[in-house]
Structure 1
Amino acid sequence: MKRKKPQDKKRYRPYFLLVFMCSLTVTSMGNMSRAATLKVCYDQWAPMTIFPSQGSTSRGVVIDMVEHIYTAKGYQLEYYEVPLARGLAMVAEGLCDMLPEYLFSAHSENDFEYAKEETFAYATAFIVRRDDPWRYKGIQSIKGKRIATGPGWDYSSMSVDYQDYLDDPQHSSFVEVIAGGDDVVERIFRMIRDNRVDLYADSDLVLQHVLNQVNLADELEIVRPGLEKKLVERPIFSKKIPATKRQALIKIWNDGRRSMRGEQEQILLRKYKVSIED
């Protein structure tokens, strides 16, 4: 800004004040923008949470929900695509404000707080070969079947008996633990097709999505009912966030998730070509 001549002094002061006030407004708006950034950590669990790729910018049903709910309240979302263990650590450290889905436990850890409203209560199901008449009828029905799972995967919230069966060394010859990257479930589907294992349990929505992806609907099928209880997941929020702000963020989620039940929820599920089975 050019310095004014002395004779312009009367005009200079109001002009300076106007510029100063505008500067404060811009600074304040910048601070508001920064304050309205929500840092979201999440892991890959398609179709609920998906890492974008060159072929698709989609982030999954639950991330779409989070974005819809918080952008409506003026928040900008900043995403961190990380493995689950790293996401939990980042929430604990305050590097992320929230993680949209985590297995609900009444005995919450000290470094995060659950929202009240769940993302979903997921019914489970099994995937088997189409020529296999097997159906789940309690723990006795899986004896003698070759079961696929992943390293450290825990089904105990859905069925303690099922998890105990997988953990029992006496059944180790019937339990195939499949390690690897993000394509583990797709590989399990192909192993079932190739008669290397017999069955695999997961969220019904996950099984629907993967069956669409691998194009094996003529050879494999989803069978219900699944395990005895549903898999309940809720968003978690960092306790490094000041309590007032954290409670405000939780309230936004709780109110927003309730308002999305019904048709809006179905629209998102249809986008990813899955549906909640009765």
Structure 2
Amino acid sequence: MSRSKMLHRLSFLLLLLAGSGIGSAGHAETLKVCYDQWSPLTIFPSNGASARGVVIDMFDEIYTAQGYELEFYEVPLARGLAMVSDGLCDVLPEYVGSTHAENAFVYGNEPTFAYTTAFVIRRDDPWRYNGIQSIRGKRVATGPGWDYSSMSVPYQDYIEDPKNADLVEVIAGYDDVFDRIFRMIVEDRVDLYADNELVLQHVLNRLNLHDDLQIVHPGLERKLVERPIFSAKIPAAKRQDLIRIWDEGRRAIKGETERRILEKYNVKLEDPS
């Protein structure tokens, strides 16, 4: 074969490869990820601190291995839910199983984690949770779009009941909601707040408020089980494939990979599954 024919054939082959995308770099599909601040699980990066949290690292590891590039949108939870509903984001990595979930998104099957819940109250407060009757008369802090129904339907009903509006403080904000809630408890502006015990401990340590606040048990009746939600605007076949990647990937990283990610954030869960 002549040199000119060889070059012609090679050029034709390269054109075919370029047209099919085979062998070309930089053409990974983008996955748009909305998430809210929930340290140490989901974190907004800042100057000098690029870490995005345990769950975001898990997502990055799972989807990057399948050829995706992740594009992040750091937003409050209510806005993130709206963006997933509107198709502006493909996925929000963690959301509770909600009795009020709309048809605007579809849950993944594998949980991120199942978290034990607890309450944070003032250090000198003898109060303990003993069913919904023990909440009555207490000033409760929560955030917009936060749903506790998977852990306690009576607790969620209490928060949503208009009769209790004067006792329920909804704290909105970008990335400092937890700091503000903790300081409002210290200042006697609200009495209690329920959340994942891991998050409560992380915020308490970071703000160094051990002399002012305490974390108490029992928490709400059931564990907080969180799953990723995928936009219903995504074509069904593609959405099912994204869910499959998450489900298989989450099962696959249990064990050593999961421990490595948790240890990066100085976190250890007794039962991370």
Determine if the TM-score, normalized by the shorter chain, exceeds 0.5. yes
Question: 1:31: how far off?
Answer: 6.7
What is the match of residue 14 of structure 1? 6
Larger mean Cα displacement after TM superposition, 146-155 or 223-232: 146-155
Partners of 1:131 and 1:255 lie apart in 2 by: 47
Larger Rg: 1
Superposition pairs for residues 51-200 of structure 1, below 5 Å? 51-105=44-98, 109-200=102-193
Question: 1:202: how far off?
Answer: 1.4
Partners of 2:126 and 2:99 lie apart in 1 by: 37
Partners of 2:10 and 2:46 lie apart in 1 by: 47
Q: Does 1:212 align with 2:205?
A: yes
What is the match of residue 254 of structure 1? 247
Question: 2:214 aligns to what SS in structure 1?
Answer: strand
What is the match of residue 230 of structure 1? 223
Partners of 1:265 and 1:63 lie apart in 2 by: 12
Task: Give the structure-2-normalised TM-score.
Answer: 0.84
Partners of 2:144 and 2:104 lie apart in 1 by: 25
Question: 1:176 aligns to what SS in structure 2?
Answer: strand
Partners of 1:180 and 1:220 lie apart in 2 by: 22
Percentage identity across aligned positions?
Answer: 66
Shift in CA distance, 218/248, structure 1 to aligned 2, threshold 3 Å: same
Question: 2:27 aligns to what SS in structure 1?
Answer: helix
Shift in CA distance, 151/243, structure 1 to aligned 2, threshold 3 Å: closer
Q: Structure 1: where are the runs of 5+ without partners?
A: 1-8
Shift in CA distance, 119/178, structure 1 to aligned 2, threshold 3 Å: same
Question: 1:37: how far off?
Answer: 3.1
Partners of 1:92 and 1:166 lie apart in 2 by: 24
Q: Structure 2: where are the runs of 5+ without partners?
A: none
Partners of 2:104 and 2:145 lie apart in 1 by: 22
Question: 1:77 aligns to what SS in structure 2?
Answer: strand
**Matched length:** 270
Does the Cα contact within 8 Å between 1:102 and 1:236 map onto a contact in 2? yes
Question: 1:33: how far off?
Answer: 4.7
Question: 2:201 aligns to what SS in structure 1?
Answer: helix
Question: 1:34 aligns to what SS in structure 2?
Answer: coil
Shift in CA distance, 151/235, structure 1 to aligned 2, threshold 3 Å: closer
What is the match of residue 35 of structure 2? 42
Shift in CA distance, 78/184, structure 1 to aligned 2, threshold 3 Å: closer
Shift in CA distance, 168/89, structure 1 to aligned 2, threshold 3 Å: closer
Question: 2:92 aligns to what SS in structure 1?
Answer: strand
Does the Cα contact within 8 Å between 1:208 and 1:274 map onto a contact in 2? no
Higher helix share: 1
Partners of 1:110 and 1:102 lie apart in 2 by: 14
Letter in 2 for 1:77: L
Does the Cα contact within 8 Å between 1:108 and 1:114 map onto a contact in 2? no
Shift in CA distance, 121/95, structure 1 to aligned 2, threshold 3 Å: same
Identify the match of residue 17 of structure 2 among 21, 25, 29: 25
Does the Cα contact within 8 Å between 1:41 and 1:79 map onto a contact in 2? yes
Q: Does 1:265 align with 2:258?
A: yes
Shift in CA distance, 169/277, structure 1 to aligned 2, threshold 3 Å: farther
What is the match of residue 5 of structure 1? none
Shift in CA distance, 96/199, structure 1 to aligned 2, threshold 3 Å: closer
